[in-house]
Amino acid sequence: MAFLQQPPQLEHPYRGDRLLLALLDRALPAARRELLDVDLDALGDYAVMAWQRARAGTPRKPVLTAWDAWGRRVDRIELTAAWQEGPRLTTRHAILAAGHEAHEHARLEEFARVYLYHVASEFYTCPLAMTDGAATALKASGNTELIGRALPRFLSRDPGAFWLSGQWMTETPGGSDVGNTETVARRGADGQWRLYGRKWFSSAVVGEAALALARPEGAGPGAQALALFYVETMDGDARRPELTIDRLKDKLGTHELPTAEIHLDGLPAWPVGELAHGVRQVAPMLNTTRAWNAVCAVASMARAIALARDYAARRSAFGRPLLEQPLHAHTLAGMQAEFEGAFALAFEVAHLLGRVEHGAAQPHEAALLRLLTPLAKLWTGKLAVAICSEALECFGGAGYIEDTGLPQLLRDAQVYPIWEGTTNVLSLDSLRALTGDGLGALRAAADGWLAGGDAAAAQAVRAALDAAARRLDADGVRRPALEAGARGLAVTLARC
Ligand code: MFK
Ligand code: FAD
């Protein structure tokens, strides 16, 4: 019998994750820690089952049926099994509800769940992130009518009542620069606002609601004149006729996620707040989904490294397992070290978010959160691509073969740096946060983190912060130079 290679096995992502276990043991009061165990254990079980199920079957993509046999417009989307299981898992394990409980650990407990669920969910976490972001933005708006209508759905623990929300921002003339938005909001004689236009990327097209940017009719150009609207997409069991799905995007990765181009032709809409400054109003949503992006990028890294590490014990070359080849072991150790830094940064954001939202934060921590959110998103996004690429190489040729399930990791990771603000856009956003009180907040936090720790590391971090301060001072009047260096500065601070 010819040699047969043993494939990689996935260790239980919760019970086997030393980093996550240590974080939760350290950060949570014992009673809360214990309560969390059941959900995390179950989500880890689900991840193992989903990995095995995907190896046994053929990969699938969602399918759009625009018309029925008799010519009726139906825009029906057939989803993968993991997507069909999404509402049940989300509500049973309170993935979104946990993040909105009234205590300072709520976000950490939510993001621990997200971290374990993400890869197995087949990017069902994308609309979950947007739903969480919509709940957060509606709360920040203080619009009691919309809060009362939507939040019991978005945060429901009942799969029958649960709704997903989309985030309709990007249009053909611009995704980074949403000031180019062409969608118009018109108010009819009946007082009802309605949206007319085209949204170019809609990732939760199966969702029941969305927050959308649109320009009220007669308002001026630019981003400041945009308003933020809440919409619902369904009329009972049928999609509203004022919303049509033009097509599903044919994407590099995230194949199971139905991302659509849509047309709005009079879809009823409700203003979230004042009829201008929609970007300011949607910012809490952006910051929430960016935190999700960071945690999900870290989850992809964890999966890639776990499989590469397992394989290194099963695959031999030159007379011993790869794990015993010093250079291969060193390669894995380097990946692990980068991953641990990214994990710490992403979960620091999760922890801070809960503290700030529940009034438990120290004075500098709100500014710190504002700065660390874009830094965490941009750095973990880039690192996920690099680590997934390196992990594929750890499998040699097998890493390039579709039905090992490995290429999907790399294809999917490439989305993290693009959506929710590209690396450059977030570098500029972090510049905005730094030139506020971000740098001072980072200094205050670094003093706390580094107290009593490794002196050389402390010196390196302080030197980087001093260099950042000099750069901001020296280049303050030369905006082009400051912007050109923004990515370098952001990456340095994120790695620090
Ligand atoms: C599985 C993983 C989970 C993740 C799921 C993700 C699903 C993916 C779905 C998407 O991709 S949705 C589309 C996401 N789109 C973006 O992220 C847009 C990227 N572009 C930017 O972020 C631009 O910087 C921005 C649109 C914000 C620029 O617009 P403007 O109008 O030129 O912004 P400006 O003037 O800088 O800011 C307007 C106001 O918003 C200012 O406040 P004031 O009006 O009070 O002065 C800003 O301070 C505020 N603002 C902007 N960004 C903010 C913010 N405030 C807080 N946090 C922020 N991040
Ligand atoms: P552009 O804005 O045209 O950017 C092109 C390049 O220019 C980028 O490299 C960018 O970094 C760079 N750039 C732009 N401005 C600057 C600047 N000032 N300085 C330096 N560099 C700059 N959007 C939604 O609204 N809802 C969704 O549900 C959604 N889902 C998505 C799902 C997927 C799978 C993908 C890939 C995208 C999705 N998007 C969604 C869209 C996404 O948010 C945008 O593609 C993204 O924000 C970038 O916008 P753009 O494509 O218009 O690129």
DSSP per residue, 229-250: EEEE-EETTEEPTTEEEEEE--
Distance (Å, whole) CA 478 – CA 484: 10
For the record, the structure tokens of 341 come out as: 């830094």
Provide the residue type at 358 as one letter: H
- ipTM for the complex? 0.99
**How many H helices and E strands in the chain?**
16, 13
Taking residue 478's Cβ as centre, other Cβ atoms within 10 Å add up to: 10
* 305 C-alpha to ligand 2 centroid (Å): 28
How far, in Å, CA of 72 to CA of 95, rounded?
A: 37
CA angle 209, 81, 47 (to 5 degrees): 100
Distance between Cα 421 and ligand 1 center (Å): 7
**If you measure from the C-alpha of residue 428 to the centroid of ligand 2, how many angstroms do you get, rounded to a whole number?**
14
**Rounded CA separation 451/249 (Å):** 50
Q: Is residue 175 lining ligand 2, measured as CB closer than 6 Å?
A: yes
Determine if ligand 2 sits within 6 Å of the CB of residue 373. no
Domain-wise residue ranges, the chain:
165-279, 423-495
Q: Is 47 helix (H, G, I), strand (E, B) or coil?
A: helix
Spatial neighbors of 184 by CB under 8 A, at least 6 apart, are 195, 196, 197, 214, 215, 216, 217
In CATH, what number does 165-279 get?
A: 2.40.110.20
Starting from the CA of residue 210, give the closest ligand. 2
What are the backbone angles phi and psi of residue 67, rounded to the nearest 5°? -125, 145
Residue 314 Cβ < 6 Å to ligand 2? no
167 C-beta closer than 6 A to ligand 2: yes
Tens digits of pLDDT across the chain (496 residues): 799 999 999 999 999 999 999 999 999 999 999 999 999 999 999 999 999 999 998 768 999 999 999 999 999 999 999 999 999 999 999 999 999 999 999 999 999 999 999 999 999 999 999 999 999 999 999 999 999 999 999 999 999 999 999 999 999 998 999 999 999 999 999 999 999 999 999 997 899 999 999 999 999 999 999 999 999 999 998 999 999 999 999 999 999 999 999 999 999 999 999 999 999 999 999 999 999 999 999 999 999 999 999 999 999 999 999 999 999 999 999 999 999 999 999 999 999 999 999 999 988 999 999 999 999 999 999 999 999 999 999 999 999 999 999 999 999 999 999 999 999 999 999 999 988 788 888 888 888 877 777 778 778 888 888 888 887 877 555 788 889 999 999 999 998 8
Say if CB 17 and CB 94 are below 8 A apart.
Answer: no
Q: How does DSSP classify residue 436?
A: I
Residues in the chain: 496
Please classify residue 395 by burial: count the beta carbons closer than 10 Å to its beta carbon, then call 0-12 exposed, 13-18 middle and 19+ buried. Answer: buried
Closest CA to 163 of 255, 86, 215, 101: 86
Distance 283 CA to ligand 1 centre (A): 5
Q: Which ligand is nearest to the CA of 206?
A: 2
Q: How many whole angstroms from 104 Cα to the centroid of ligand 1?
A: 25
Give, for ligand 2, the residue of 288, 418, 430 to mutate: max count of ligand atoms closer than 8 Å to Cβ: 418
Ligand 2 proximity of 38 Cβ (cutoff 6 Å): no
Ligand 2 centroid, distance to 378 Cα (angstroms): 13
Rounded to whole angstroms, the Cα distance separating 121 from 47 reads 8
Answer yes or no: is the C-beta of 416 below 6 A from any ligand 2 atom. Answer: no
Sign of CA dihedral 360, 362, 365, 366: positive
CA 111 to CA 93: how far, in whole Å?
Answer: 12
